[in-house]
């Protein structure tokens, strides 16, 4: 299979490495010759590291690199069977790209976008054959992260999502099907991990270091929300939050914070700029958390309740299946366990009590419990297991 990748940035190069290693000829397109050279060098270096670690033989690494065909000519896509774009998150730019692409590729070539936040239906609307268009959303770094979200647009032909899912699975990835809704699964469900942590900070309940400590040491998350936002970069994380908030018709559950907006406006993007919620200067002293376990548990359960509620609501609205929701959060953002499993472990009634207590305190719609959560509690059920919930 000949696959075209458009965009040779970190994401495009990573995807190109994945499909070349899986045995496909890859045409990697970028108009910038220097960017193409950097991408080729990066892929070669990554393949070399894999051989050094014993994860890939020298022959397989050489063959994989030989299948990579960097190009600045979109005309070379004339024989591609799948083309995936990984360019700037700009709807007009993507639409124009697919208008041009359709004039070149065969009529049965699958057209795909790696967008993380834009409407697939809107991108597909620019195509003469929108039925062959689909979303294939990788996570960065693509060679390492297992999860890939498969998102059919309303125009996508029946059966294409399943075909693409099987193809992606043959690449050694974990594909999940999801509806074309803002943020898909991961970027939708994960919003409270950041937003509620910032809210706890803004209220003065705990400082940055303490909240991160509670989520990592008590909750088992690999990174705390503030360390993770600094790692992602506030230029990225804040914009995604703002985009999802607008896309959900300004639903208060996704409301951005002024605290993060001010960091974004100041250019304090996190690690990349040397300052974010933490100071990354060489002589900076890392703040010490307050290791009070009762406080930590309060913080953890508040954030968890919000995360679980978002996963439950996504299930209620048929955004994705139970299995897809669990895989997305464990394989896509490395949560220590799936949120539905976590709900069962804590007890749905306990989660509901936490949310209702927050709503009673604040009377804000951000704390409204999903109707499905209420229904599960009322029926004394669990989300993943079939036995009745334990009495709380």
Single out the catalytic residue among 8, 114, 116, 370: 116
Residue 149 annotated among the catalytic residues of the structure: yes
Kindly report the backbone phi and psi dihedral angles of residue 335, in degrees, each rounded to the nearest multiple of 5, phi listed first.
-65, 150
Q: In whole angstroms, what is the distance from residue 126 CA to residue 146 CA? A: 30
Single out the catalytic residue among 64, 113, 137, 370: 137
Single out the catalytic residue among 149, 196, 310, 326: 149
Number of H helices, E strands in the chain: 17, 8
Q: In whole angstroms, what is the distance from residue 187 CA to residue 241 CA? A: 9
Residue 116 annotated among the catalytic residues of the structure: yes
Helix (H) or strand (E) holding 137: strand 133-138
Single out the catalytic residue among 46, 64, 113, 187: 187
Distance of CA 58 to the CA centre of its chain: 32
Q: Long-range contacts for 273-280 (Cβ within 8 Å, ≥24 apart)?
A: 276/226, 276/229, 276/230, 276/234, 277/208, 277/226, 277/227, 277/229, 277/230, 278/208, 278/226, 278/227, 278/230, 280/230
Residue 301 annotated among the catalytic residues of the structure: no
Residue 117 annotated among the catalytic residues of the structure: no
Q: In whole angstroms, what is the distance from residue 233 CA to residue 238 CA? A: 8
Per DSSP, which regions of 168-208 are E strands? 174-177
Residue numbers annotated as active site: 116, 137, 149, 187
């Amino acid at each position: 299979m000949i696959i075209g990748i458009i965009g040779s940035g970190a994401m495009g190069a990573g995807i190109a490495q994945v499909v070349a290693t899986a045995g496909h000829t890859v045409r990697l397109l970028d108009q910038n010759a220097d960017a193409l050279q950097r991408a080729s060098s990066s892929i070669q270096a990554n393949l070399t590291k894999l051989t050094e670690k014993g994860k890939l033989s020298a022959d397989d690494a050489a063959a994989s690199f030989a299948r990579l065909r960097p190009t600045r000519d979109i005309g070379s896509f004339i024989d591609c069977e799948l083309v995936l774009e990984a360019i700037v998150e700009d709807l007009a730019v993507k639409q124009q790209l697919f208008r041009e692409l359709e004039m070149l590729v065969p009529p049965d070539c699958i057209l795909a976008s790696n967008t993380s936040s834009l409407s697939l239906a809107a991108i597909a609307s620019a195509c003469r054959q929108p039925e062959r268009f689909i979303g294939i959303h990788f996570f960065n770094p693509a060679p390492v992260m297992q999860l890939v979200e498969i998102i059919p647009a309303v125009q996508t032909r029946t059966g294409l999502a399943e075909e693409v899912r099987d193809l992606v699975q043959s690449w050694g990835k974990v594909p999940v099907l999801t509806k074309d809704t803002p943020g898909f699964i991961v970027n939708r469900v994960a919003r409270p991990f950041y937003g509620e942590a910032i809210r706890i900070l803004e209220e003065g309940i705990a400082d940055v270091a303490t909240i991160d400590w509670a989520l990592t040491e008590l909750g088992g998350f690999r990174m705390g929300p503030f360390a993770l936002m600094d790692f992602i970069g506030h230029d990225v994380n804040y914009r995604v939050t703002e985009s999802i908030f607008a896309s959900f018709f300004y639903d208060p559950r996704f409301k951005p914070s002024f605290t993060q907006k001010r960091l974004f406006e100041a250019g304090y993007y996190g690690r990349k700029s040397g300052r974010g919620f933490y100071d990354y200067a060489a002589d900076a002293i890392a703040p010490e958390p307050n290791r009070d376990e009762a406080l930590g548990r309060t913080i953890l359960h508040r954030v968890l309740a919000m995360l679980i509620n978002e996963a439950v609501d996504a299930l209620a609205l048929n955004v994705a299946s139970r299995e897809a929701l669990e895989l997305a959060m464990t394989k896509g953002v490395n949560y220590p366990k799936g949120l539905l499993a976590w709900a069962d472990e804590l007890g749905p009634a306990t989660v509901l009590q936490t949310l209702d207590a927050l709503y009673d305190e604040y009377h804000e719609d951000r704390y409204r419990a999903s109707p499905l959560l209420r229904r599960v509690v009322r029926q004394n059920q669990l989300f993943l297991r079939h036995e009745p919930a334990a009495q709380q």
